[in-house]
Structure 1
Amino acid sequence: MKRAFILLLDSFGLGATPDAAKYNDTGANTFGHIASWAAKNGTPLTLPTLENLGLGAAAHAASGQWADGFAQRDGFAAAYGAARERSTGKDTQSGHWEIAGVPVEFDWGYFPRTTPSFPAELTARLQELSGVPGFLGDCHASGTDIINKHGDEHVASGKLIIYTSGDSVMQIAAHEESFGLERLYEVCEMAFKLVEPYNIGRVIARPFVGSNGKYTRTSNRHDYAVAPPAPTLLDHVKNAGGEVIGLGKISDIFAGHGISRVVKGVDNMALFEALLKVSDEAGDGSLTFVNFVDFDQAFGHRRDVTGYANALQEMDARLPEFIAKLREGDLVVVTADHGCDPTWAGSDHTREHIPMIFFGPGVQPRALGISETFSDIGQTLAHHLGVKPLSNGSNLL
């Protein structure tokens, strides 16, 4: 019996890639800077489970430096390394698709860092089709900041909050109760069709609740995404008869392609609970792919170093529960899709190496070095499951 699991810590980068200067990210290091910050503040970052699997050594291979609190040693329990992205962007879709064997070697469209960010003809047409009285924001922004800034006016006027980021994305925020969740989804579907000529990867519905300047986003987020341009690991597994279980936003990122079952969760720990349940249920030939989104959306983009550090320690403390459930023939990889250094300027992703930490009952611990494409991860899992090889990547095990 063979099963595969991808545990993706969204935005957990291990240090800038050689091409980071193109993205103004030279020196970015999500993991290293969090560890340094924690040490300087008298609260050292402690990740005993991940450290035992080789995280510190993988980060050293990527950045050339040992993170504070992670010293050189031997005797790791996993096959560990890091990977560089072949795709041209540093966005969510590119990272996930490349892991699954389909690098994005075309350029996404992006909205400029101006106010307004969106073309007037786009917003005028969306207003005409949706019937909303207008828009608020229309700029590059942090999602949590912009809903608190414009939430009161949105509730009072019915104008939608629209914003973008360094990703190829249009985000539309609305109050679940005063505006309506289904109505928000309908507007986002309209917008998704309208942004096609601009080569935009996603339109994201960002519902929120609350009142009087104190608003919180809900778990009813929905991404309307362009489909991958070629079959991915998910398609290969599903076509071979294996179940593909997408936890969190995985189904949205792949536009539903190759997905057998969708499992949602409100935050990292809810998704971890779902992972434990799925690990009991998943059958032979299955692929379970979970995105732990809080690292990125709740802490990375918000430049919350304390929150990021605490979330890493919380995840590390619970990983032994999952490891205890592994069976003979299981292969797990802990990885990421890009960086989002919470000490870096701005609020966008950072161009960084990602971890590749493979473990399971049959995995021989060793150093894997640096891969030149994230697709080595997907190809390794395809080989393990015995499905059709991917068009990109090499088997590392």
Structure 2
Amino acid sequence: MMGNAYVIVVDGLGVGAQEDAAEYGDESMNTLGHVSEETGVRLPNLQKMGLGNIIPLASVEENENPLAAFGKLREVSAGKDSTTGHWEIAGIHLGKPFPTYPNGFPEGVLQAFCEGIGVEKVLCNKPYSGTDVIRDFGEEHLATGFPIVYTSADSVFQVACHEDEVPVEKLYKWCEYARNEVMAGEHEVGRVIARPFKGKPGNFERISDKRHDYSSIPPKNNLVQKLYDFRVKTYSIGKVADLFAGEGFTQYRPTKSNAEGISQLLSLMSAGLDNSFVFVNLIDTDQLFGHRLDPAGYAGSLAEFDRAIPAIVSKIREDDLLIITGDHGNDPCSESTDHSRESVPLLVFPKNSAKAEDLGTGKTFSNIAKTVAEFFKLENDFPGSSFLG
């Protein structure tokens, strides 16, 4: 049997501002450090792995003999969104960020979208919280049938529609049109996102498990596609496949929550995998708590993951590789609901696979691509360096 490699991305888990964070207005950000200080969250299993050795944490102590090699990684690509972070993990460096729209989308973009889907106009067209936008525009949407189009600090074109007014499959077709025909060229955003919701005025609720992301198409020379072409079985758990436009994956397992993502991971690990790469995104820390400035919720989500660590570690075979990391920061203790330009944590298990117990600060997220490619003995020219021994 050949070994398996597992990469778990805790979405929005940063460990302090990068050297260039001031360029993004993020010089004071430290997601994990601030959550630890604010909430006192105890993470005993991640502490055993070495999480407290990466940076000083108020509630997670250093471990003299951690189970994992530890360090952190800095982002080279321009931007601080999930697509950019995951792509860099997979070996792709972006020279310029995906476009953002702090003042809403240009009239020409909206006109092209409306003409293509056959509606008179859209509602909102501003950066907005996903829960607030359906509260504030949902009733007008039901009365008019006009889609709610909004963005955020990320490079996203989001379309929200009530399932009774616009069936979910129709919403998907609208978003496919936006992705393929409108948000291209100079307006090629990282993601077009379908955001169906339900309920009545005053009690609208997003249908999270029917959300669908339409990503920009990644360059073919990325880790996932190369492994797939090399006949390594590739699995996505959570939104990862969406971020890669579904390309290069043997199997895609969408999830509604971190609990389901962890369950899907443990299920795969128990299935006798061989020669497989499993790429996991745990989104709750970012989507439910980072963006909503909820340190207690963020801490609770970390604690939920911490409780799963023993089960995950117990299923790692001697010839397997487990990497735990993040994709950007999202400091819920700040005044910003945006992602933050932070380094991300790095835990490598078993630690005897790594070159050193303290891996220091890697120059790029793509060190992970380099490492996983080397693990599978795949010839590659990914930027960065491997941390395998």
Fold shared by both chains (TM-score > 0.5)? yes
Q: What residue is the counterpart of 1:373 in the other structure?
A: 364
> 2:321–2:349: 8 Å Cα contact kept in structure 1?
yes
Note if 1:312 corresponds to 2:313. no
Q: Work out the CA distance in 2 between the residues paired with 1:362 and 1:242.
A: 23
> 2:198–2:205: 8 Å Cα contact kept in structure 1?
yes
Give matches, 1:159-178, under 5 Å.
159-178=146-165
Q: Work out the CA distance in 1 between the residues paired with 2:321 and 2:272.
A: 13
Q: Work out the CA distance in 2 between the residues paired with 1:390 and 1:94.
A: 19
> 2:123–2:147: 8 Å Cα contact kept in structure 1?
yes
Q: CA deviation at 1:228?
A: 1.4
User: Amino acid of the residue matched to residue 206 of structure 2?
Assistant: R
Task: Say which SS state the counterpart of residue 109 (structure 1) adopts.
Answer: coil
Q: Work out the CA distance in 2 between the residues paired with 1:71 and 1:270.
A: 29
Q: What residue is the counterpart of 2:46 in the other structure?
A: 50
Give matches, 1:1-397, under 5 Å.
1-38=2-39, 44-58=40-54, 60=55, 66-111=56-101, 113-114=102-103, 117-192=104-179, 193-197=181-185, 198-218=187-207, 219-281=209-271, 283-360=273-350, 363=353, 366-397=357-388
Task: Say which SS state the counterpart of residue 6 (structure 1) adopts.
Answer: strand
> 1:329–1:360: 8 Å Cα contact kept in structure 2?
no
- CA offset digits 1:159-201 (Å, max 9, x no partner): 1111111211111111123311011011111111201031322
User: Amino acid of the residue matched to residue 190 of structure 2?
Assistant: G
Q: Work out the CA distance in 2 between the residues paired with 1:221 and 1:268.
A: 15
Q: Work out the CA distance in 2 between the residues paired with 1:206 and 1:388.
A: 40
Q: Work out the CA distance in 2 between the residues paired with 1:293 and 1:233.
A: 21
Q: Work out the CA distance in 1 between the residues paired with 2:228 and 2:265.
A: 19
Q: CA deviation at 1:36?
A: 1.2
User: Amino acid of the residue matched to residue 198 of structure 2?
Assistant: V
> 1:87–1:103: 8 Å Cα contact kept in structure 2?
yes
Q: CA deviation at 1:382?
A: 1.2
Which stretch shifts more, 94-103 or 156-165? 156-165
* Number of aligned positions between the proteins: 383
Task: Pick closer, same or farther for the CA change 1:185–1:302 going to 2, 3 Å.
Answer: same
TM-score, L = length of structure 2? 0.95
> 2:49–2:347: 8 Å Cα contact kept in structure 1?
yes
User: Amino acid of the residue matched to residue 263 of structure 2?
Assistant: E
Q: What residue is the counterpart of 1:41 in the other structure?
A: none
Q: CA deviation at 1:73?
A: 4.0
Q: Work out the CA distance in 2 between the residues paired with 1:177 and 1:272.
A: 32
Q: CA deviation at 1:362?
A: 5.1
- CA offset digits 1:341-395 (Å, max 9, x no partner): 1122231100000011111385367110001100001111111122222421211
> 2:188–2:216: 8 Å Cα contact kept in structure 1?
no
Q: Work out the CA distance in 2 between the residues paired with 1:334 and 1:160.
A: 38
Which stretch shifts more, 290-299 or 222-231? 222-231
Q: Work out the CA distance in 1 between the residues paired with 2:72 and 2:304.
A: 23
Q: Work out the CA distance in 1 between the residues paired with 2:176 and 2:321.
A: 37
- CA offset digits 1:63-106 (Å, max 9, x no partner): xxx11122344111101100100001111111001111111123
Q: Work out the CA distance in 2 between the residues paired with 1:3 and 1:174.
A: 40
Task: Say which SS state the counterpart of residue 178 (structure 1) adopts.
Answer: coil
Task: Pick closer, same or farther for the CA change 1:390–1:221 going to 2, 3 Å.
Answer: farther
Give the % identical residues: 38
- CA offset digits 1:245-293 (Å, max 9, x no partner): 0111111101122111000111110111111111122632210001111
Q: Work out the CA distance in 2 between the residues paired with 1:99 and 1:119.
A: 32
Q: Work out the CA distance in 2 between the residues paired with 1:299 and 1:133.
A: 35
Task: Say which SS state the counterpart of residue 270 (structure 2) adopts.
Answer: helix
Q: Work out the CA distance in 1 between the residues paired with 2:120 and 2:293.
A: 33
Q: Work out the CA distance in 1 between the residues paired with 2:129 and 2:62.
A: 37
- In structure 2, the gaps of 5 or more residues are none
> 1:300–1:342: 8 Å Cα contact kept in structure 2?
yes
Which stretch shifts more, 134-143 or 92-101? 134-143
> 2:68–2:351: 8 Å Cα contact kept in structure 1?
no
> 2:69–2:351: 8 Å Cα contact kept in structure 1?
no
Q: Work out the CA distance in 2 between the residues paired with 1:214 and 1:37.
A: 31
> 2:13–2:32: 8 Å Cα contact kept in structure 1?
yes
> 1:243–1:282: 8 Å Cα contact kept in structure 2?
no
Q: Work out the CA distance in 2 between the residues paired with 1:199 and 1:126.
A: 14
Task: Say which SS state the counterpart of residue 210 (structure 1) adopts.
Answer: strand
- In structure 1, the gaps of 5 or more residues are 39-43, 61-65
Q: Work out the CA distance in 2 between the residues paired with 1:187 and 1:128.
A: 11
TM-score, L = length of structure 1? 0.93
User: Amino acid of the residue matched to residue 10 of structure 2?
Assistant: L
Q: Work out the CA distance in 2 between the residues paired with 1:270 and 1:346.
A: 28
Task: Say which SS state the counterpart of residue 137 (structure 1) adopts.
Answer: strand
